Amino acid sequence: QNTEIDWKAYMDEVEGVINGTYDYIQLKGDTGPLVYPAGFVYIFTGLYYLTDHGQNIRLSQYVFAVFYLITLLLVFRIYHRTKKVPPYVFFFVCCASYRIHSIFVLRLFNDPVAMMLLFGAINLFLDGRWTLGCALYSLAVSVKMNVLLFAPGLLFLLLCEFGLWKTLPKLTLCAVIQLVLGLPFLLVNPVGYFSQAFDLGRQFLFKWTVNWRFLPEDVFLSRYFHLALLLAHITTLVLFVLKRWKRSGNSIWSILADQSERKETIIQTVLVLFTSNFIGMCFSRSLHYQFYVWYFHTLPYLLWSGGVKKLAHLLRVLILGLIELSWNTYPSTNYSSLSLHVCHFIILLCLWLNPTPALPSQKSDNKAKRH
């Protein structure tokens, strides 16, 4: 069954590159210009050849089914390492989301590919393989820019783990990977490449929005509204860094100067990364249906990490259900958009009320120093 949405456009864009067009401005598909970085081009070029020049859609769906299973394995490994979420929740992660199955296996968007690489990177961070993790993270960004929503959390973790000077080589590695991947396009039209692949000011269509349906269209399209959202996003991130992620005993300067006594626990590492991405989702200018995959697999973790002990298991499952319902309402309505924001606000509030973790094993450290 032919259920793809952007697949044909992806194949047209990739075909342009195969035919020798390296100017990003010239690369177009039937849904518009190419707006993804170079990693996307290489991965989908591979899929282009694998699926008989993009004609064999059934085979591409099988490939995406494999991507889906790999993503689930990577997500389950994170959940298993943190032991935060009761086992029955995995049923919802695997089986309960029609929309997620559709995004992965039927629609063939590039978002799932980026998220698969991202969850691979998080697994590497948990294993202490930060350099390799940063390389894979940069590769995920090169497939789709939404992965940058995890960047503030990742930067914070790198500074905590290594201090400023030892973090710089890892940031340089991420940048170099972007430059190397984009090199064939940068040599032809550098401005065109960056303006298309990393276009932060792109206007979204009101008809596709999942989260702002209750606003008048002129407000939705207003640059002032976008600026207010950006300000709210940055403010919320800064508050979480200063009041929630940073442990009370440490100043920001001690983290930068590598005098921080702490190394992140696995639970805290995952929480910082997932929260960083979630804050970005809360203040996003527009969410389209395929963007659900950006945070779906992190939602149970965030819900079960919240500081409200009174929030019963049933209520958490209800919030998951309401979010699922909002993303499955097509076209979105005032109520579906509002309920999504209410659910987001409840999760954000629970994360804020999460008590700041104490320094791990400080007493044992002091004992060790005495000995």
- pLDDT in the model for residue 145: 94
Is there a contact between 143 and 113 (Cβ–Cβ < 8 Å)? yes
Backbone phi, then psi, for 110, in 5-degree steps?
-85, -15
| Cis peptide bond upstream of 331, omega within 30 | yes
The pTM assigned to this predicted structure is 0.91
Instruction: Count the alpha carbons within 13 Å of 207 in the hemisphere toward its beta carbon.
Output: 0
Domain boundaries, the chain: 1-353
Residue 193 CA to residue 39 CA, distance in Å, equals 13
- Written as six digits, the tokens of 162 are 């290594």
- pLDDT in the model for residue 307: 67
Residue 264 CA to residue 277 CA, distance in Å, equals 18
- pLDDT in the model for residue 253: 67
The predicted-structure confidence for 87-133, as pLDDT tens digits, reads as follows 888 888 888 777 898 888 888 899 999 999 999 999 999 999 999 99
Instruction: Count the alpha carbons within 13 Å of 44 in the hemisphere toward its beta carbon.
Output: 31
Residue burial 265-289, b: 16+ Cβ < 10 Å; e: rest: ebebbbbbbbbbbbbbbbbbbbbeb
- pLDDT in the model for residue 369: 39
The predicted-structure confidence for 308-323, as pLDDT tens digits, reads as follows 666 677 889 899 999 9
- pLDDT in the model for residue 199: 82
**Identity at 51, one-letter amino acid code:** T
Dihedral sign (CA 37, 43, 57, 91): negative
The DSSP bridge partners found for residue 28 are 33
Residue 267 CA to residue 274 CA, distance in Å, equals 11
Residues of the chain below pLDDT 50: 259, 358-371
Is there a contact between 233 and 279 (Cβ–Cβ < 8 Å)? yes
Residue 10 CA to residue 148 CA, distance in Å, equals 21
**Residue corresponding to tokens 């100067």:** 257
**Residue corresponding to tokens 């598909």:** 29
Residue 108 CA to residue 62 CA, distance in Å, equals 10
3-state secondary structure of 222: coil
